[in-house]
Chains A and B, each alone.
Chain A
Amino acid sequence: MHELSIASSLVDSVLEFLDAHKVKKVLTVRLAVGELNCVEAEQLCFCYTAITQKTAMENSTLEIETVAAVVQCPRCDYRGSPKYWEDARSAAPIPTLECPKCQGTVEPIQGNDCAIKTIQFVA
């Protein structure tokens, strides 16, 4: 349940921002979550709702957008989307670190982060 750690970090960061500015109420927080990150959106929203109660963020909306993974191959210089593992029993295709071009191991260069993009608020 690392979503709670991430939600706490998110709320702390936003409340820190609110402290530094004249903000009455937060309306929306937009979060960008990398595809290679194992953050579960529904659980994160659940934690967010629970821990924002009785704060200036109460009743605000958490919007989560997924940032597509980009990988780079040190061997053949491929740069682009990762190769996906199409396992029939998996709920979604699993991104892998196998190079789609030369079958070597690629390095992720995008898709690992989890960041607050914007905050919409009433001053």
Chain B
Amino acid sequence: MIQTIEASPDEIYDIELEHSLLEANAKLAKENRSLLDRHGIASIDVMGAIGSGKTTLIGRLVERLKDRLGVAVFNGDATISSDADLIARQNVPVVQIATVNGCHLDANLVGKALRKIDLTKLKLIFIENIGNLICPAEFPLGSKARVVVVSVTEGQYMVRKHPHMFLGADLVVVNKIDLASAMEVSIEDLIADVHKLKPDLKVIRTSCKNGVGLDELTASLLAI
């Protein structure tokens, strides 16, 4: 990758490097993925804005899945462990990944979390990314699928405001649909925006309040 040159004093050199800045993360993501594949574990990177309902949604999915297969959860959070504590009440392995000032998880942090738990009994790991609809897009973690959660409480234009996040998604969840009329947000328009960016992207409507869509989401994730 790096070429070798012999420098002479005070000469100006211009050399080509072609060195990818995203490659280091991509390499670690591949390592995470092969480790997970070796253990037959599917992993889901759950991304979305702060308050989109990622933790509650993961909690509901864990409730549905934990008696059927080994599930673990990694909670990415800048500081406090409140989300991790919430999930840990369900007696599944939980690792909190505290990024301190970091605005996204990266493959290195996920690799460290993978070394913290016993992988032999697991079949599925949910990785809750930091609440952020921009930065996580650039940093694949080695997960099998990337799910973006967007809730109606974020307003009508969240998809077109953050197109990059949706371009890299494998599944989109439109959450908190029970609040759509109170928010005066059109779910159909939100979904139309997703399909303008990526026509074949699967979108599932959910409400953790009344359970709508959770069975469909569970089945879709198991099929990934």
Contact assessment for A117 and B17 in the assembled complex, using a CB-CB cutoff below 8 Å: yes
Q: How many A-B residue pairs have CB under 8 A?
A: 120
Q: Which A residues contact B (CB, under 8 angstroms)? A: 1-2, 5-6, 9-10, 13, 16-17, 20-24, 27, 31, 36-39, 85, 87, 89-90, 94-99, 103-105, 108, 113-123
Partner of B167, one of A16, A97, A116: A97
State A96–B139 Cα separation when bound (angstroms): 19
SS class, residues of chain A in contact with chain B:
mixed
Q: Is B15 an interface residue (CB 8 A)?
A: yes
Interface string of B6-22 (1 = CB under 8 A from A): 01111111111111111
State A86–B14 Cα separation when bound (angstroms): 39
Contact assessment for A38 and B196 in the assembled complex, using a CB-CB cutoff below 8 Å: no
20 further A-B contacts with Cβ under 8 Å, apart from A5-B135, A13-B19, A38-B137, are A2-B103, A2-B134, A2-B135, A5-B104, A9-B21, A17-B17, A20-B4, A85-B160, A89-B157, A89-B160, A94-B163, A94-B197, A97-B197, A104-B199, A113-B22, A115-B19, A117-B17, A118-B14, A122-B10, A123-B10
Instruction: Identify which of residues 1-55 in chain B touch chain A, using a CB-to-CB cut-off of 8 Å.
Output: 2, 4-5, 7-22, 24
Residue in B closest to A82 when the chains form the complex, CB atoms:
B167
Give the size range of B's interface with the partner. Answer: 35 or more
18 A-B pairs (CB sep. < 8 Å): A9-B21, A16-B2, A17-B2, A17-B17, A31-B21, A89-B157, A94-B197, A97-B198, A98-B197, A104-B199, A114-B20, A114-B138, A115-B17, A115-B19, A117-B18, A121-B12, A122-B13, A123-B11
Closest chain B CB from A79 CB (angstroms): 17
Which residues from B are CB-within-8-Å of A96? 163, 167, 196-198
Which residues from B are CB-within-8-Å of A95? 163, 167
Contact assessment for B196 and A85 in the assembled complex, using a CB-CB cutoff below 8 Å: yes
Top 6 closest pairs, chain A to chain B, by CB:
A123-B7, A2-B135, A38-B164, A105-B200, A115-B20, A22-B7
